[in-house]
Structure 1
Amino acid sequence: MPLISFKKNRPPYEVSHGANLMKSLLDAGLPVASSCDGDGVCAKCKIIIVEGGENLSGENETEVFLKETNNIPSGMRISCQTEVFGDITVDATYW
């Protein structure tokens, strides 16, 4: 099962293959910014992918649109639109 590791001092969190990144972070007790509750509207749930970006789902149409309209850099993902398929390391500006 994939592990989500964190840049800052937090223990890794194991998730099931294909788990939603935002839901997994919330389940791990971490705050995830969002005003749309994960409906893919606000783009506030952007997460920095430190390592393992290749272990995430490809960007869907909603994520591409949100990243383009909100000028979100390529090293970040919209967590409500992202599935985890392997080990990753993440960070957020507000943790």
Structure 2
Amino acid sequence: MKLKFIPQNVEVEVTSDKSVLQIAQENNIHIKSVCKGVPSCAECRVHVAEGEHNLAPPSSTEMSLIGTGYFIDRRRLSCQMHCFGDVTVDLKEQVEKSDKVQGTKRPSGVAKNEYDPKESRAVMGNIIHEEAQNKADQAEKKANRRLFEEEKQRLLKMLRDQRKEREDAKKTRKPSSEDSN
């Protein structure tokens, strides 16, 4: 599987266990990410130029962050994209963001040595996202427990049925005392 970054014209071999953001970082390709892939900032949006069918559909968390942009221009969060085939990602928007950051003026009232526009002021592990994730984890555990119980009951019923069939088979095989007279 190959992942191609344009306009950089960089193509790399990928595996599905890493996100596009991770792959970009490993190959020294800058994609802005305030949350470092949590996902909570939506800064790592990229345009899928080709191979959208080789990506898993966006999760509900990703959809809540990107909104209708996904349906309009096929933009996705690179921290949530995992490739299952060849994909081409257009980073033009990321390059433009980087250019804007380099030309950013510091806010009024901030000392010259205190302001670095590249440095994030965001706190990693957004509390709202963590709470939502905890609720999602609890719901998943509850669903898994329910599925486990259903499977356990199905297997117990199957064992009871098999035991009954064996007992019935033994009864039909035993000659009755009346038949021997």
Query: 1:72-87 residue pairs with structure 2 within 5 A?
Result: 72-74=69-71, 75-87=74-86
Query: 1:1-95 residue pairs with structure 2 within 5 A?
Result: 2-68=1-67, 72-74=69-71, 75-92=74-91, 93-95=93-95
Deviations 1:22-69 (A, max 9, x none): 11111111111111111010000001100000101111111111012x
Identity of aligned residues (%): 28
The residue type equivalent to 2:69 in the other structure is I
Deviates most, 40-49 or 7-16: 7-16
* CA distance in structure 1 between the partners assigned to 2:8 and 2:38 by the alignment: 29
SS at match of 2:53: helix
Instruction: Report the count of equivalent residues.
Output: 92
* CA distance in structure 2 between the partners assigned to 1:4 and 1:43 by the alignment: 21
SS at match of 2:79: helix
* CA distance in structure 2 between the partners assigned to 1:64 and 1:73 by the alignment: 8
Moved over 4 A (4+): none
SS at match of 1:85: coil
Deviation at 1:17, TM superposition (A): 2.9
* CA distance in structure 1 between the partners assigned to 2:46 and 2:94 by the alignment: 10
TM-score (norm 2): 0.47
| RMSD (CA atoms) | 1.5
Residues 86 and 18 of structure 1, relative CA distance in 2, 3 Å threshold: farther
Conserved in 2, the CA contact under 8 Å of 1:18 and 1:85?
Answer: no
Larger Rg: 2
Equivalent position of 2:161 in the other structure:
none
TM-score (norm 1): 0.86
Deviation at 1:9, TM superposition (A): 4.1
* CA distance in structure 1 between the partners assigned to 2:36 and 2:5 by the alignment: 22
